[in-house]
Amino acid sequence: MVEVLYFAWVRERIGKARESVETNAATVADLVAELRAREPRYEAAFADTSALRVALDQELSEFDAALSGVREVAFFPPMTGG
Amino acid sequence: MVEVLYFAWVRERIGKARESVETNAATVADLVAELRAREPRYEAAFADTSALRVALDQELSEFDAALSGVREVAFFPPMTGG
Amino acid sequence: MKVSVQEAPFDFAAEMAGFGVGRADVGAIVSFTGVVRDDTGRMQALELEHYPGMTERAVTKITEEAMARWNLADALVIHRHGRLDIGEQIMMVATAARHRGDAFAAAEFLMDYLKSRAPFWKKEHGLDGETDWVAAKDSDEDALKRW
Amino acid sequence: MKVSVQEAPFDFAAEMAGFGVGRADVGAIVSFTGVVRDDTGRMQALELEHYPGMTERAVTKITEEAMARWNLADALVIHRHGRLDIGEQIMMVATAARHRGDAFAAAEFLMDYLKSRAPFWKKEHGLDGETDWVAAKDSDEDALKRW
């Protein structure tokens, strides 16, 4: 079970800010594949992962990173602070 | 006749901040040669002109610059503002 | 060192009043203030979303990195989130160091970082009611590469 | 644009309060403050001599050059002369621009210029009563070459 968070247009496209996901995905990419298979709005949000960033337990990470031991996964577009 | 100004340790070495100088010097270097010939304190101040800067009518200039038409000549060490 | 991620406005003058003061080893203080700009004349406000928890952690970590890398006497980062009007201050960075080169470099590094690696997302609210997420700029990503 | 060469202290907060404010095209404001530093623990005060007339002219000219070169919305330079105690503010520079790159570059350029081309000379007064003219640094001269 991981807590999945969405920010900015990813949050808007999926229609929620966070959800608990029951998964055995080994990597972030595997989790993305499971989410895309759920519903068109997930498919729309994850259509181009090169336009997305991922953080694992609040540290920036990569889509091929392992999920074992991770409790919080966040998906969002490239940051635009400052 | 030009007004000659001295700043920082040049002023201290020569012992005055400014003076009017009667000269027909063609260039700054010629003026320096005339001043050096006056007294040891001028000789001491102008011993190494590579350690000095010159401004003509309040614009940074060079020692080989012409003096014709110049009313104010200033000698000083490299600046250390900021 | 101070890092704050907050919705409320900050008081630039008050923040700077005590910054780097009373230390004989501080010769240079640099500040940067980001202001909401309207390039098009069609913007009403800017909305900043952030990632509570991660934002504070990430900004604290990078500020500690800047402190060590440029041997700063002090550093300050305040970044707002929420809705901001045109002309409002979005964020500020301040650095204090012995020499100006370190103070400038650290402030620029922190800005380049905050623009492209801190979890903030800007949304523009137009006068016409339309909203648009601001796209990340390659130039901001490139700016980070010089460090 | 404002340039001031003065003996009196300046009020950083008051100077910054109205700087670059109320313009929709200003997104970035940078400030630099120079503070009298004592690296040795043996200094009592710093004395700044300047060239009345030329200093104002030279600083105004270079500030105008910075305004044009980096397309600044505003620029401010205040430089003090006379006797200053450790910890006192010597000078400040502020720049306002659309983008942070211009604001930072112009502020650094102005500082590099003020350090090596503006007619100011620093003399250190030691606790032991000795005085020493501060020698120009090659690094300050070199810094200017990047522009």
Pairs across C and D, CB distance < 8 A: 95
What is the CATH classification number for the domain harbouring D104?
3.90.1170.40
Residues 6+ apart with CB under 8 A from C112: C140, C143, C144, C146, C147
With a cut of 90, say whether residue D139 has pLDDT above it. Answer: no
CB C55 within 8 A of CB C87: no
Within 10 angstroms of residue C124's Cβ, the number of other Cβ atoms is 18
Residues 6+ apart with CB under 8 A from B21: B1, B2, B3, B4, B31, B34, B35
Assess if residue C108 is contained within a domain.
Answer: yes
Model confidence pLDDT, tens digit, residues B42-76: 999 999 999 999 999 999 999 999 999 999 999 99
**What DSSP string runs through D49-100?**
EE-TTHHHHHHHHHHHHHHHHTT-SEEEEEEE-EEEETT-EEEEEEEEESSH
3-state secondary structure of A75: strand
The token pair at A13 is: 């496209």
Total domains in the fold of chain C: 1
The token pair at B6 is: 């001295």
Pairing of strands B72-76, B2-6: parallel
Determine, for residues D32 and C27 on separate chains, whether the beta-carbon distance falls below 8 Å: no
Determine, for residues C133 and A5 on separate chains, whether the beta-carbon distance falls below 8 Å: no
Mean pLDDT of B18-30: 97
With a cut of 90, say whether residue D40 has pLDDT above it. Answer: no
What are φ and ψ of residue D44, in 5° steps? -105, -40
Instruction: Read off the pLDDT band of C139 (50, 70, 90).
Output: confident
pLDDT at D85: 95
Q: Which domains does chain B have, with CATH numbers?
A: 2-76 (3.10.20.30)
| Cα A82 from Cα A75, distance rounded (Å) | 20
Pairs across B and D, CB distance < 8 A: 75
Determine, for residues B58 and D51 on separate chains, whether the beta-carbon distance falls below 8 Å: yes
The token pair at D71 is: 């397309």
Assess if residue D74 is contained within a domain.
Answer: yes
To which H or E segment does residue D120 belong? strand D120-126
Instruction: Read off the pLDDT band of D114 (50, 70, 90).
Output: very high
The fraction of chain C above a pLDDT of 90, given in percent, is 86
pLDDT at C114: 95
Q: Choose among D84, C19, D80, D83: nearest CA to D93.
A: D80
Residues 6+ apart with CB under 8 A from C29: C16, C19, C20, C94, C95, C96, C103, D31, D32, D33, D35
Is D146 exposed, middle or buried, given 0-12, 13-18 or 19+ CB atoms closer than 10 A? exposed
Model confidence pLDDT, tens digit, residues C16-73: 999 998 888 899 999 999 999 988 889 999 999 999 999 999 999 999 999 999 999 9
| Cα A79 from Cα C72, distance rounded (Å) | 26
**What DSSP string runs through B44-82?**
HHTS-GGG-EEEETTEEE-TTSB-TT--EEEEEPPP---
Chain A residues 33-62 with a CB less than 8 Å from chain C: 55, 58-60
Determine, for residues B81 and D49 on separate chains, whether the beta-carbon distance falls below 8 Å: no
| DSSP single-letter state for residue C23 | -
Q: Which domain holds residue D65?
A: 2-133
Determine, for residues B55 and D119 on separate chains, whether the beta-carbon distance falls below 8 Å: yes
Assess if residue C88 is contained within a domain.
Answer: yes
Q: Choose among C42, C15, C41, C40: nearest CA to C29.
A: C15
Assess if residue C146 is contained within a domain.
Answer: no
pLDDT at D23: 83
Rg for chain D (alpha carbons), in Å?
Answer: 16
Instruction: Read off the pLDDT band of A82 (50, 70, 90).
Output: confident
Model confidence pLDDT, tens digit, residues D53-68: 999 999 999 999 999 9
Strand partners, A4: A19, A73
Q: List all chains that touch chain C, counting a touch as 3 or more CB pairs closer than 8 Å.
A: A, D
Assess if residue D39 is contained within a domain.
Answer: yes
Instruction: Read off the pLDDT band of C141 (50, 70, 90).
Output: confident
pLDDT at D9: 98
| Cα A9 from Cα A79, distance rounded (Å) | 11
Measured at the CA of B75, the angle between CA B73 and CA B80, to 5 degrees, comes to 130
Assess if residue C141 is contained within a domain.
Answer: no
One-letter identity of residue D122 = K
pLDDT at D141: 84
